[in-house]
Structure formats: C-alpha cells, structure tokens
C-alpha cells in the first residue's frame, strides 16, 4: 500500500517517526509531507532516513511533474494519513483551504483520508473544533478519537495524538475494509443500486418530566454504519435516528426523533417507499403514561415514587404485518440466551431476518465493534468480532443473498 503521511505542527510530530517505521516494517511505501510548522519540531532528514524518500514540503516544486507535485502525490497515494493533525489543519480542511502542499493535495485527491488529531484539551473541546470534526466526518474523512492523558502543556485530558500502533492498526483495518468492499462491491452495488433502504438507529427517550427520561445505552453506531455502507453501495437511504450525537453519513437522508411514538410516526410516513426496512434502533418497550408538565420534586415525606408505564408500539412487528411490506430485518440485543431469543423474535414477529448480538458487560452498546449472528428462516451465520462498518458490509451482503435466493 502507498501511504502519504502528512505531519503538521505539534509536539506529537516526533511520534510520526515511529508510525513511519511501522508502515515500512509492514512492507508499505511511505511518502512524508511536512508543513512549515512540523519542521519547527522535527527535521525532515529523520523521515527521509526511515521512509527512503525525500520529504515533500513545497507546493511549488519545479522538479516534481513540471511543478504539479500535489496532483502527482494525490494520484500516487492509496491512503492519506495526517498525524498529528493540528487544530489549524482541521480548520483548513473544513474550509477547503489550499495554502500549502498538504492541504492542496487533500483537495486534489479522491483517496481516503484519515486524521489523528493532537492538541491541547481545551482546543479539542472547543465548539469550533468539534464542529470542524463533525463536518469533516460528514464529508467522509475518518477521524480517530484523540487519546486522554498528560499533555505537553502539563494539563490532563483528551487531545493527545493516538499512539502510533493504534493509528497503524486503524489504517490496516480501513485497508481491509476497502479490500472487502472491492471484493463484494460489484455484487453489492448490483443489488443495492437504487434500492430504497429505511433504517432506524439509536435509542428512544421517554420523558418522565421536562428534566428526566427513561432511555438506554444504544449509541446508534450500528445503524449509522449500515446507512453509510448502504449509501456507498448505491442505495437510497433514509435514516430515522433517535437522540444521538453522530454525524450524518454522506448521501443519507436523516430524520431525527426522540420518542418511540415519534419514531413510529416517521416509519409509518416513510415505509411505503422502502424496499428494505432495518430496525436497528433500541426502541423503549414502555413509556410513562402521563409525563409531568413540570419537574417532579423530591418530597421529604416520600420514600418511593411510582410511575405508570404503558406499552410502546412495536414498530418492526407493525412493518412486518403490512400487506405490501418491504424485506424486514430486526435486531435482537440480548444479555443471555441470545440465539434462542432472536429465533423466537424472528418467528413471533414474522420477520424476514434478524441480527442477534450480545450486549452488556462491555459488549454491543457504546462500542465501535460488534459480533452479529445473522439469522433467516433457512440460514444462520455468525460474524467474527470486527468494526461496525465491517459488520454492516456483511449484513448487507447477507440481505442481498437472502433476497436473491427468493427471487
């Protein structure tokens, strides 16, 4: 693999040397591009010694393809990695600036770009930086979460550049995902192109009063991953999202809801146009019968509080019961007897397929990886633990296989 490693100004620039070494040791080619700020922290000769290539740092280099070096580099790379990625670099990329070689080639490439941010904890948490991160994610750039710990300034918190080994592993996972996508790509695109896919994702919140609610720990990451992969495969994707702070995948229509009833109403409005419905949301089974209009107060003479709960609509069962239903995929997140409960739900709700996964004790919810078991009436396939985008890819391929066998 040909890796273009961008190094920007920051004390963490020295860690990029170890990252270069890891790539070279694994047999990859590395071309380092340094910004002016990066050279204040580390000498280009160090990268040249490790990579075997002179460092590139000039936008106007007459010795490189008649002075069009950014075009040459943009075409050469299979993967662009910027580590460390400073707050200034994030801002420039978000604005589409092109005032140095690194930012210019990022504009001139169609290759995947991965960023490893490194900055002071307050700079990282600043609303402007977080907005830049969200926008860049929506545009398809992969941004690794910064590590937490002691910083060069003496403060402690989020903002440290991820360790080189973690960045290396993230790049290898991304490459594996790309290869899998390419291998399954033609079949996936042949099936999903112009198919209408409706997905629910995330939790629902059921209000107790204007301050409190009943909720669950679903992050929405699985549903969002499915939406992202499906859109890249050519599907027309509508994502009905509960209250989650995740960027909308590129090319996906998003509808935000809060409660189970709101999610049900949105599904009812959208499902007629869907060829496939995937119910990845963790919908609350019950809601408070009469939410209080004012904040409920704790009284000294009360040791208990009783809330009357009523059942929420069963969204996936309702969709499966429609005369002109789409292909219906449910999810079964269980803490025990996962496969048995999932098969029972598949039969009882008359679903076409179900995805079973173990949750609790650090599994399933609030994680970037998953291990689904895909179950239809005729087949059961367990997936090894992997990132949720990898799980989404295999899930969509399984759906295509199931529907093609019926057709």
Which residues are catalytic, by number? Answer: 153
Three-state DSSP at 120 gives coil
**DSSP letter string over 188-218?**
HHHHHTT-EEEEEESB--EESSSS-EE----
Q: Are the C-beta atoms of residues 292 and 209 closer than 8 Å to each other? A: yes
Q: How many helices (H) does the chain have, and how many strands (E)? A: 13, 21
- Measured from the Cβ of residue 8, the count of other Cβ atoms closer than 10 Å reads 30
C-alpha to C-alpha distance for 182 and 189, rounded to whole angstroms:
10
**DSSP letter string over 280-344?**
-SB--SEEESS--SSPPPP-TT-S-----EEEPP-HHHHHHTSTT--EEEEEEEESSSHHHHHHH
C-alpha to C-alpha distance for 392 and 56, rounded to whole angstroms:
38
Question: What does the buried/exposed string (b/e) look like for 23-44 if buried means 16 or more CB atoms within 10 Å of the residue's CB?
Answer: beeeebbbbbbbbebbeebbeb
Token pair, residue 344, equals: 């029972």
């Amino acid at each position: 693999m040909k890796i273009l490693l961008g190094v920007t100004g920051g004390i963490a620039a020295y860690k990029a040397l170890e990252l270069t070494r890891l790539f070279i040791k694994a047999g990859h080619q590395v071309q380092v591009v340094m910004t002016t700020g990066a050279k204040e922290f580390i000498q280009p000769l160090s990268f040249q010694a490790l990579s075997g290539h002179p460092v590139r740092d000039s936008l106007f280099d007459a010795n490189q393809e008649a002075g069009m070096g950014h075009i040459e580099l943009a075409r050469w790379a299979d993967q662009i990695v910027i580590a460390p990625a400073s707050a200034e670099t994030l801002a420039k990329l978000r604005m589409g600036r092109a005032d140095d070689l690194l930012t210019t080639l990022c504009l001139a490439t169609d290759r995947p770009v991965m960023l490893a941010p490194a900055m002071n904890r307050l700079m990282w948490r600043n609303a402007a930086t977080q907005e830049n991160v969200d926008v860049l994610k929506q545009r398809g750039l992969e941004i690794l979460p910064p590590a937490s710990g002691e910083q060069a300034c003496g403060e402690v918190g989020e903002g440290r550049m991820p360790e080189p080994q973690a960045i290396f592993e993230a790049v290898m996972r991304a490459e594996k995902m790309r290869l899998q996508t390419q291998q399954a790509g033609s079949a996936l695109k042949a099936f999903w192109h112009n198919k209408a896919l409706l997905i629910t994702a995330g939790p629902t919140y059921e209000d107790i009063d204007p301050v409190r609610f009943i909720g669950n720990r679903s992050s929405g990451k699985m549903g969002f991953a499915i939406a992202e992969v499906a859109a890249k495969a050519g599907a027309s994707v509508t994502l009905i999202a509960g209250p989650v702070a995740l960027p909308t995948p590129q090319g996906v229509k998003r509808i935000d809801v809060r409660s189970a009833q709101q999610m049900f109403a949105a599904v009812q409005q959208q499902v007629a146009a869907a060829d496939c419905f995937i119910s990845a949301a963790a919908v609350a089974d019950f809601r408070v019968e009469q939410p209080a209009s004012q904040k409920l107060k704790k009284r000294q003479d009360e040791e208990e509080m009783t809330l009357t709960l009523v059942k929420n609509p069963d969204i996936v069962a309702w969709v499966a019961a429609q005369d002109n239903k789409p292909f219906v995929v449910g999810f079964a997140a269980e803490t025990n007897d996962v496969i048995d409960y999932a098969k029972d739900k598949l039969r009882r709700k008359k679903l076409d397929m179900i995805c079973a996964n173990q949750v609790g004790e650090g599994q399933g919810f609030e994680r970037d990886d998953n291990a689904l078991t895909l179950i239809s009436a005729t087949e059961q396939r367990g997936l090894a633990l992997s990132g949720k985008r990898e799980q989404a890819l295999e899930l969509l391929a399984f759906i295509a296989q199931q529907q093609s066998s019926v057709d």
